[in-house]
Amino acid sequence: MAALLQQTDDPVSLVSGFVSFVEGQLTLEPRVMMTKTRAWALDAETAPVAPLPSASVLPVPSTAHQLLMRCQALLIQLLHNGWRYQEQSAIGQAELLANDLTAVGFYRLSHVLAQFRNTESEARVEAMNNGVLLCEQLFPMLQQQG
């Protein structure tokens, strides 16, 4: 884990795990660490390697489908965890994703994600409500793309 945290060419961008607060001490037990290119499940047992039957190999999703899946994951993360501990990273992810969505023509979705930059609480509540509506729109789009 120390080697992951020290690397500079592909720095750790997300750490997920269990948080406990005991006797005034906040402790994080990391379970997953992610960089822009890789993810590590810490203390995980690997399954034995076996060849996959060719029938279970799925085609690579289209760029639009990948963007919709990224958007869905970000919105679910925000709706599940809220802003409290992920504000800056969520805003950064939303901005990058908004640019990518604009590039492929998802203008409305990009516009709603760009609203997360607003720091006023009333605007954030509205943006989160729009996020819920967008999740409802994303599910049929993802099914259609898949």
What residue spans define the domains of the chain? 2-41, 61-145
The yes-or-no verdict on residue 94 having pLDDT over 60 is: yes
At a CB cut-off of 8 Å and minimum separation 6, what does 20 contact?
26, 27, 29
CA–CA separation, 88 and 77 (whole Å):
13
Which residue from 46, 106, 41, 42 is spatially nearest to 70, judged by alpha carbons?
A: 106
At a CB cut-off of 8 Å and minimum separation 6, what does 8 contact?
none
Supply the pTM of this predicted model: 0.50
pLDDT digits (tens, 9 = 90+) for 3-61: 767 778 888 887 777 778 778 887 878 778 788 887 777 765 555 666 655 555 566 66
Which residue from 79, 67, 74 is spatially nearest to 129, judged by alpha carbons?
A: 79
Looking at residue 60, what is its pLDDT? 67
The yes-or-no verdict on residue 106 having pLDDT over 60 is: yes
Q: What is the pLDDT confidence band of residue 126, given thresholds at 50, 70 and 90?
A: confident
Report yes or no: 33 and 13 within 8 Å, Cβ to Cβ.
no
- More confident position, 70 or 42: 70
Average pLDDT of the residues in 110-136: 72
Looking at residue 27, what is its pLDDT? 82
CA–CA separation, 8 and 26 (whole Å):
27
Residue 21, SS3?
A: strand
- More confident position, 145 or 76: 76
Looking at residue 88, what is its pLDDT? 75
- Chain mean pLDDT for the chain: 75
